[in-house]
Structure 1
Amino acid sequence: MDWLQLHPLYLYQGAAFPLALLFNYLCSMDSFSTHARYLFLLAGGHLLALAAMGSYAVLVFIPALCAVVLILSLSPQEVHRHTFFFQMSWQTLCHLGLHYTEYYLQEPPSMRFYITLSSLMLLTQRVTSLSLDICEGKVKAASRGIKIQSLLSEHLREALPYFSYLLFFPALLGGPLCSFKRFQACIQGSSSLCPGHFFWALTWKALQILGLECLKVGLRWVVSTGTGLEDCQQLECIYVMWSTASLFKLTYYSHWVLDDSLLHAAGFGSEFPQSPGEEGYVSDADIWTLETTHRISMFTRKWNQSTAHWLRRLIFQHREAWPLLQTFAFSAWWHGLHPGQVFGFFCWAVMVEADYLIHTFANRFIRSWPVSLIYRTFAWAHTQLIIAYIMLAVEARSLSSLWLLCNSYNSVFPMVYCILLFLLAKRKHKFN
């Protein structure tokens, strides 16, 4: 999702906080049954979707309804294949509508449509995560076939947990991916509103958001008063790329912390105890690691961490040939297949492959501490510049912007890794 589209989401995510706190408070009451909790989350999701997306909300409701029908109708062996095909087909059609508006009609799409596409991408994560859980036996579907003679109320009762999971308001517009098992455990557990550390955690997250926003205001002023890629000259383009990419990253960090705070306020955060065999809570923003790592592969695993885990489980672990390239190719498809995304994710895959070889080679020969420190410093700087290059490519909204980036001095940084990849590929068997 383009960083420019994140700003309206702050308003809607912020407006959902009172609803999240109310839900957490009601969960502390014995009279607030599990059934009522599912309904509350589902109703909140519908209200938030209508407020944020308007009439476009139907583009999210329809695939959610179809996914539940498929889950209740198909066998565990078939459910993932069919839900994956339907969900990605629906999302792709919506992205093609965006392409048609942007590139053919040359008109700016509605901001509500951007928010709808963002929510659809998150819905795809939850649908495929749930279908994989069913396929792997981690979750047992409530029914194996829709029987005509069964009462409508029985069907609705069976479908309610799935509808609630796919459309629950704390994760509708953002937030780390929450597995269905964890969702159910949080629904059936007691509220986490009482402990004092709950409020301290929210206060700390609020201070993080405030600090990130202050940094963002200062950096935006620097970027707006300086030259762009179209006006920069030679080495100046490196600074322009780095400062612009830093603004992108701060925007994402702030949004991820806000999403995490909303889930925390509703009782779905990391403070909820983890059951044996249950997937733990994975936060999207590990800012310290992202800003200090000297390895592109580590940055890739920590960037939007829950999505990285989802892609690994959905694609990487099920592909024997070129799993890394296929994972990044699917990520480009999931993001919408804009020209900059196709180029950026392909470049990212090559850089990760080069990263493995380069650091394996370096760790084999670098022994002394001073040389290791110098190497890590240069590797950190190179990693940050390559990530900035990839980020600007992915965020490019036109072929002209992508050409400006590729035709600048910034292309030297990924080219260095490409050359090293070519030189070291022949020695890969020795490293193994």
Structure 2
Amino acid sequence: ELLILLTGAPSLQSQPLSSVSLRILCAFQVNFVVCQLCALLTAFWFRLYLHPSKTSPFVRHVVATLLGLYFALFCFGWYALHFLVQSGITYGIMILAGVEHMHKYCLVFALAYLSFCQITRVYVFDYGMYSADFTGPMMVITQKITSMAFEIHDGDEVTDISFDGFVFRRMPSLLEYFSYNCNFMGMLAGPTCSYNDYIAFIEGKPFRHREQETNGKLQGKTRLNDPSPNTEVLRKLATCFISLSVFLSVCKVFPVERNVDDDFIATTPFYAQVVYLYLSMLTTRPKYYFVWTLADAINNAAGFGFNGYDSDGLPRWDLISNLRIMNIELATSFKVFLDNWNIQTALWLKRVCYERCPYNPTAATFLLSAMWHGAYPGYYLTFLTGIVVTLAARAVRHNVRPHFLGSPTHKFVYDIITWASTQIAICYTVVPFVLLSVGPSLKFYRSWYFSGHIGCVLLAIALPVKPRHLRLKEQHSLSSTQPLHPHCGTEHTQIGQRSYSAATHAESQMIKTQKQTSKHPASAWTRPVGRHTNLGSKRRHQDLALT
């Protein structure tokens, strides 16, 4: 029963389970927990005995991949073959499609294959059951496949989108590719990560291991020895224990299904329903805290996740962390909550969709998130509701918040009001995500008279916000028209002269470079050298002259 509560869906409490289904569910979840605990112990061994200073990247790739596939086979049986099929076909697409279109083809195929498996699991197997939920790891693999395809594409072309550290300019080998997708540290529960960060971890590159002064500035020196993650791993394991204890002690006290119970709706005052909604949804979150924090601890135990040093000189192990618990519970806006919940998925959605969609990026991002999560109708109801809630929250923040920044007291009152509003809005939005089905979800919204939807639509209409591309255009125009500092005239003139001469030299080399590239065409996996590169260099020199 503990394992069912730990990794099963919240809606399982209200669904009858046959004895066979219950045994299958328990077996799957026992395997899942055992594999995660084994992965934690293996991660310590991997860091100590297969350290980059003691062995080659090839050995680390092979061991990480074989262990990941073994854990997948142990936990999911032959369903684990889907991981290899999805990864193998997309690798072929990357080779055959070329850099210009590979990111689009990989995104379409990976999502289509994931959706096919999710629909099969939902409508062929027991509805609402999480037995043999092999699509969970496939969701993470889909993120990694598409992230890699977009990183290769961005590394080959100069675009207006800048993701430092998220581009590279060579096709990974087959071993590197499967190691990135199927390593034992993130095979079962993620989180996803950048390919560059993973390769740097495997090869032991110290480019992230930089010391910081107390004021937070980089000294530019690198440490010879890696910082120990043991303290951070113990802290995260303690967080896991507390989260698990809280979840098991209160999850049955406030079942989410009671929000749609007829007697509860008929006899409970509305203010009490609001309070119960908050408490019932609050008790579902520690389960995710446990799973994601344990996954983060596994990666840290292997030495992956180091993110430099803070202003006090202490090592940070939050490179691939998936949540910030205090920021979630104290969030004063819908955006702050989403930015700290499932962080790596939010970054993936931002890089793949939000920053690239020319029109309605918010709606497109929420729809992509719904498709990625699965085939349950409740997911789509949640993310469609999230669109209007996000637009309303953005309108309030842009139009109302500036009026409360005049004094600390006003700001404190604003924070209290927005905290309560954010928590209720999150709970209102996420109820279908937990209930999964259309009927109970619509019943809940009807009991609230769709007040959340109506209120958000009215706020979004009454408090309009300029489209994102217009706001970015205004910010760019303001930054480009700022005057130079009066006390830095000589220095800026010298920098400007050097920049202008460098840019002029780049222009003079353009024709020669184009002739060379016409004789020696660039490989499909290398960034072309020519007009775009020189213009990018010129643009960087001009920006330097402005600063």
**TM-score strictly above 0.5:** yes
Higher mean Cα deviation, 70-79 or 385-394? 70-79
Describe how 1:294-309 pairs up with structure 2 within 5 A: 294-309=332-347
Describe how 1:175-214 pairs up with structure 2 within 5 A: 175-189=190-204, 197-214=228-245
Gap change, CA 1:101 and 1:340, over 3 Å in 2: same
Secondary structure at the residue paired with 1:378? helix
Gap change, CA 1:66 and 1:226, over 3 Å in 2: closer
Gap change, CA 1:126 and 1:107, over 3 Å in 2: closer
Is 1:217 the counterpart of 2:248? The answer is yes
Deviation at residue 72 of structure 1 after TM alignment: 3.4
Deviation at residue 92 of structure 1 after TM alignment: 1.2
Which one scores higher on RCO, CA 8 angstroms, separation ≥ 6? Answer: 1
Amino acid paired to 1:248: T
C-alpha separation in 2, matches of 1:19 and 1:136: 35
Gap change, CA 1:292 and 1:134, over 3 Å in 2: same
Aligned partners of 2:251 and 2:284 also within 8 Å:
no
Gap change, CA 1:350 and 1:110, over 3 Å in 2: closer
Partner residue in 2 for 1:151: none
Higher mean Cα deviation, 304-313 or 82-91? 82-91
Deviation at residue 205 of structure 1 after TM alignment: 0.8
Gap change, CA 1:82 and 1:326, over 3 Å in 2: same
C-alpha separation in 1, matches of 2:421 and 2:182: 41
Aligned partners of 2:52 and 2:204 also within 8 Å:
no
Partner residue in 1 for 2:424: 385
Gap change, CA 1:197 and 1:19, over 3 Å in 2: closer
Describe how 1:151-166 pairs up with structure 2 within 5 A: 158-166=173-181
Is 1:25 the counterpart of 2:48? The answer is yes
C-alpha separation in 2, matches of 1:165 and 1:27: 17
C-alpha separation in 2, matches of 1:119 and 1:99: 16
Deviation at residue 110 of structure 1 after TM alignment: 5.9
Deviation at residue 398 of structure 1 after TM alignment: 1.5
Aligned partners of 1:165 and 1:180 also within 8 Å:
yes
Amino acid paired to 2:151: D
Contiguous gaps of at least 5 residues in structure 2: 1-6, 13-27, 156-166, 210-224, 311-317, 475-547
Describe how 1:8-407 pairs up with structure 2 within 5 A: 9-28=32-51, 30-101=53-124, 109=129, 111-112=131-132, 114=133, 116-137=134-155, 138-142=167-171, 158-189=173-204, 197-223=228-254, 227-230=258-261, 231-232=263-264, 233-235=268-270, 236-270=272-306, 281-366=319-404, 367-407=406-446
Aligned partners of 2:52 and 2:203 also within 8 Å:
no
C-alpha separation in 2, matches of 1:89 and 1:256: 26
Amino acid paired to 2:229: F
Higher mean Cα deviation, 213-222 or 311-320? 213-222
- Give structure 1 regions of 4+ aligned residues with deviation exceeding 4 angstroms: 1-8, 106-110, 194-197, 224-228, 271-274, 426-432
C-alpha separation in 1, matches of 2:408 and 2:452: 26
TM-score, normalising length from structure 1? 0.86
Deviation at residue 322 of structure 1 after TM alignment: 0.5
Gap change, CA 1:66 and 1:389, over 3 Å in 2: same
C-alpha separation in 1, matches of 2:192 and 2:467: 35
Aligned partners of 1:386 and 1:414 also within 8 Å:
no
> Superposition RMSD on alpha carbons, in Å?
3.0
Gap change, CA 1:123 and 1:272, over 3 Å in 2: farther
Larger Rg: 2
Amino acid paired to 2:174: A
Deviation at residue 338 of structure 1 after TM alignment: 2.1
Deviation at residue 252 of structure 1 after TM alignment: 1.0
Is 1:423 the counterpart of 2:462? The answer is yes
Instruction: Percent identity, please.
Output: 21
Secondary structure at the residue paired with 1:223? coil
Q: Which has the higher helix share?
A: 1
Partner residue in 1 for 2:504: none
Q: Deviations over 1:137-161 (max 9, x none)?
A: 1223348xxxxxxxxxxxxxx3111
